[in-house]
Amino acid sequence: MSARKRLQAQLRGQLSGARRRIDGAARSARMRAGAFVVDNFFRGLSAAGKLHPLADPKRHGVEVIRDLAYREGGAVEHLLDIWRPTQATAPMPIVFYVHGGGFRFLSKDTHWVMALSYARAGYLVFNVSYRLAPRHPFPAAVEDVCDAWRFAMDLAAQYGGDTSRVAVAGESAGANLATTLTLSTCYERAEPFARKVFDLGIVPRACLPMCGILQVSDPARFARRKKLGRFLADRLEEVSEAYLFGHDHATPAELELADPLRVLERGDKPSRPLPPFFAGVGTKDPILDDTRRLKAALDKMGVPCDTRYYKGEPHAFHALVFRRNARDCWRHSLEFLENTLKK
């Protein structure tokens, strides 16, 4: 190769490297900007909702016991709230609620609407926070939810709860964690945190994974099925990168409890029967397909799954309780719980 061609090849390589660095920096800036917008939108929505007079739990006959530590150390992520209907007769059915937020933002405090909605319907509610990614990547959130579950079940009777009638619920990332927790109660697994849940011996009577992202390891699958805008594609990639940070070379087995949908699709027989599921999702939700796959997997296993699709609704629409479809979704989910827990 002549000196001239070597120089041209060198320059092309340098130019290509510069372009990659520029593209990487632009992508990083775009991801940060998008995350800022989404994070603050949901925080703002939650804060604004608290200003409404009907947000006061006392107006619904509900009391709240706040900030109980389910793990030693004093971390704010290791707290839960108990929402208790004051007029209900003990023992009460229980809802164990896990918030969403892409595994990386929000908390029990932003999800007061969910806790209040269940409590005013007569359920003793445990509303749980957990460690967030990327500072605390998988499996930190799963470990925390499992610890919170054991703490809540030990404490339930003291607050009038009936551990023979428990539902596990969550939305988005919380749906993933709720499903994983449910699997941990029914399958004998090797992970120490999952094994402790199984050994406790309490199996939920219902699981409600709403608009769940149930396989985190392959965020590009949604774009392969349907073209997504860059903003949505970025948000899905961000979820995976943050939650699985440091797991770049992990084997599929190591990530099973990050991808509970794949565990169900494999169809292994559980040691204890899985409970009935209720899964609600909007037809405009970019991660709709995970709910479809959940339904198909559970049908194949013979596990009841009441799946509802709400026309034209976006992700986590049921938090917008002023919308008709959101109210319908709550009515359907509470009817499901009435049939599975209160009978």
pLDDT tens for 262-294 read 999 999 999 999 999 999 999 999 999 999 999
Pairing of strands 62-69, 79-85: antiparallel
Is residue 214 domain-resident? yes
Whether 16 is in a domain gets the answer: no
Closest-CA residue to 191 (of 258, 275, 244): 258
pLDDT at 305: 98
Instruction: Please tell me the distance from the alpha carbon of residue 135 to that of residue 102, in angstroms, as a whole number.
Output: 13
In this prediction, residue 277 carries a pLDDT of: 98
pLDDT band with cut points at 50, 70 and 90 for residue 315 = very high
Q: Residue 169's closest CA among 71, 271, 54, 277? A: 277
| Two structure tokens written together for 339 | 């049939």
- CA 339 to each of CA 95, 112, 206: distance values in angstroms, whole numbers, following the listed order: 14, 24, 10
The CATH number assigned to the domain holding 220 equals 3.40.50.1820
Phi, psi of 144 (to 5 degrees): -65, -45
Domain that holds residue 197: 23-340
Angle between helices 173-186 and 140-155 (to 10 degrees): 60
pLDDT at 329: 98
In a domain, 8, yes or no: no
CA distance 177 to 260: 8
pLDDT at 117 over 60: yes
Domains: count for the chain: 1
The length of the chain in residues reads 343
Report if pTM > 0.95. Answer: no
> What sign has the CA pseudo-torsion 84, 88, 91, 93?
negative
Longest dimension (CA), the chain: 89
Radius of gyration for the alpha carbons in the chain, expressed in angstroms and rounded: 22
> Per the domain annotation, does 52 fall within a domain?
yes
- Whether 4 is in a domain gets the answer no
Residue 13 lies in a domain: no
Closest listed residue to residue 163, CA positions, set 114, 90, 240: 90
Residue 8: what pLDDT? 62
pLDDT tens-digit profile of 73-116? Answer: 989 999 999 999 999 888 999 999 999 999 999 999 999 999 99
Residue 6 falls inside a structural domain = no
Q: Is residue 57 part of a domain?
A: yes
CA 42 to chain centre: 15
Residue 313: Cβ-neighbour burial (10 angstroms; 0-12, 13-18, 19+)? buried
- Give the number of other Cβ atoms within 10 Å of residue 293's Cβ: 17
Give the confidence band of 26 by pLDDT, cuts at 50, 70, 90.
very low
Q: Which of 67, 42, 272, 28 is nearest to 174 (CA)?
A: 42
**Per-residue DSSP letter, 315:** T
